[in-house]
Structure 1
Amino acid sequence: MIKTKDMILASLFAAITFIMGFVKIPLPFSPVPITGQTFAVMLAGGLLNPTSAFLSLLIFDLLGAIGIPVFSGLTGGFNVLVGPTGGYILSWPFAAFLISLTLKNKKANFINIFISYLLFAIIFVYILGVTQLSFVTGMPFKKAILVGALPFIPGDLIKASIASYLTLKLKPIVESYEKRQG
């Protein structure tokens, strides 16, 4: 059974992911925009337990799937999830879960956190996102990589660096809250 504190934290990070969707920079050559939402995925994975991390992004995805405009650019609907950017969005609950699971028993340091973000919030998300982008648009896979992954690497590495730093600073606060709530 999921504890109330876990539901609260999952809901909070679903809301944070929505808010980070306001940071949207469309690229003229790609159907995939730059957003702040991957930053929220990193923080959810870095700060929450695996169940809460997964649940936070699942809530986000389900709200969007039923038409609530939580996706970047205030869009929503199942059509977004089966569209060119759906693979990225659908990968987020799993990325957050894998980040949290990986960091759960590791010493909290910048390098461990950054590597986990790199593997799961960047590489894993790119693999699923680019695959769906290629499939849905009929774009050759190599071109999908060129428009759906490569342009985002510098920004995502910056996000991972900032998120790693914030995770180190915020993790003790989240853990203190979790202990107080039982």
Structure 2
Amino acid sequence: MNQQSEKLRTLVNCSIFAAITAILAQIEIPLPLVPISGQTLAVGLTATILGSRQGAIAMMVYAAIGAVGVPVFAGFKGGAQVLVGPTGGYIFGFIAAAFITGIILEKTRFNLTMAMLANVIGMVVTLICGTIQLKFIVDLTWSESMAAGVYPFIVVGLIKAFLASWIGITVRQRLVKAKFIKETPKKAA
């Protein structure tokens, strides 16, 4: 495959997963400050299937599309005000989480246990980024920030991490077999 075809494939993959994130963002359970949504499931799927580089790019595309006003964020919201608002830290966290989750999977064995560990670490990264911005934008104490931005998401986050791992591994293996995505070479230990 030539370099131009490879770039096109990367662009298509990242666009597809940005769209999947936008769709899953609309599945939400409203809470007072930060809703539970399908976005983090999409981040885990993206990282598990595409890896660190393309996963992070897909989340940057998602954030950029939302920043210009397309209503792709949870609750059909869009615009730069969302990124600088109480929940914006989570969206920035998606980029870091996708990269970190993907890099862990690229440097370790690609199995359910490692995918679950990588996705839980990604979830923690997202929660840290989100909670920091939530604390400062809403002017909460750290305890209040944790109560609003972390605790309600732990159990559902673990469930989403498992689903992203299980579905992501299955889909990735099939896409590699169909030669739609390349197998990520493992780094020598």
Q: Which bracket does the TM-score occupy, shorter chain normalised?
A: over 0.9
Residue 87 of structure 1 corresponds to which residue in structure 2? 89
- Runs of 4+ residues deviating >4 angstroms: none
Name the SS for the 2:34 alignment partner: strand
What is the CA deviation profile of residues 35-69 of structure 1, one whole-angstrom value per residue up to 9, with x for unaligned ones? 00100000111010322111101000001111111
Task: Give the C-alpha shift of residue 111 in structure 1.
Answer: 0.9
What is the CA deviation profile of residues 136-161 of structure 1, one whole-angstrom value per residue up to 9, with x for unaligned ones? 00010111101111011110101111
CA distance in 2, matches of 1:174, 1:10: 14
Write out aligned runs for 1:79-158 (5 A): 79-120=81-122, 122-158=123-159
Among candidates 52, 55, 65, match of residue 53 of structure 1 = 55
CA distance in 2, matches of 1:64, 1:140: 29
Task: Give the C-alpha shift of residue 173 in structure 1.
Answer: 1.9
Residue 168 of structure 1 corresponds to which residue in structure 2? 169
Task: Give the C-alpha shift of residue 174 in structure 1.
Answer: 2.3
Q: 1:163 to 1:49 in 2, by over 3 A?
A: closer
CA distance in 2, matches of 1:10, 1:51: 10
CA distance in 2, matches of 1:134, 1:48: 32
Name the SS for the 2:168 alignment partner: helix
- Confirm or deny: 8 A CA contact 2:51 2:105 kept in the other structure: no
CA distance in 2, matches of 1:168, 1:57: 19
- The one-letter code sitting in structure 2 at the alignment partner of 1:11 is S
Name the SS for the 2:33 alignment partner: strand
User: 1:177 aligned to 2:180?
Assistant: yes
- The one-letter code sitting in structure 2 at the alignment partner of 1:145 is M
Identity, % of aligned positions: 35
- The one-letter code sitting in structure 2 at the alignment partner of 1:74 is F
Among candidates 11, 29, 37, match of residue 15 of structure 2 = 11
Of 15-24 and 101-110, the range deviating more from structure 2: 101-110
- Confirm or deny: 8 A CA contact 2:66 2:73 kept in the other structure: yes
Long gaps (5+) in structure 2: 183-189
Residue 185 of structure 2 corresponds to which residue in structure 1? none
Name the SS for the 1:61 alignment partner: helix
Please give the root-mean-square deviation of Cα atoms over the aligned residues, in Å: 1.2
CA distance in 1, matches of 2:46, 2:99: 9
TM norm structure 2: 0.89
CA distance in 1, matches of 2:138, 2:150: 15
- The one-letter code sitting in structure 2 at the alignment partner of 1:23 is I
Name the SS for the 1:125 alignment partner: helix
CA distance in 2, matches of 1:49, 1:113: 11
User: How many residue pairs are counted as aligned between the two chains?
Assistant: 176
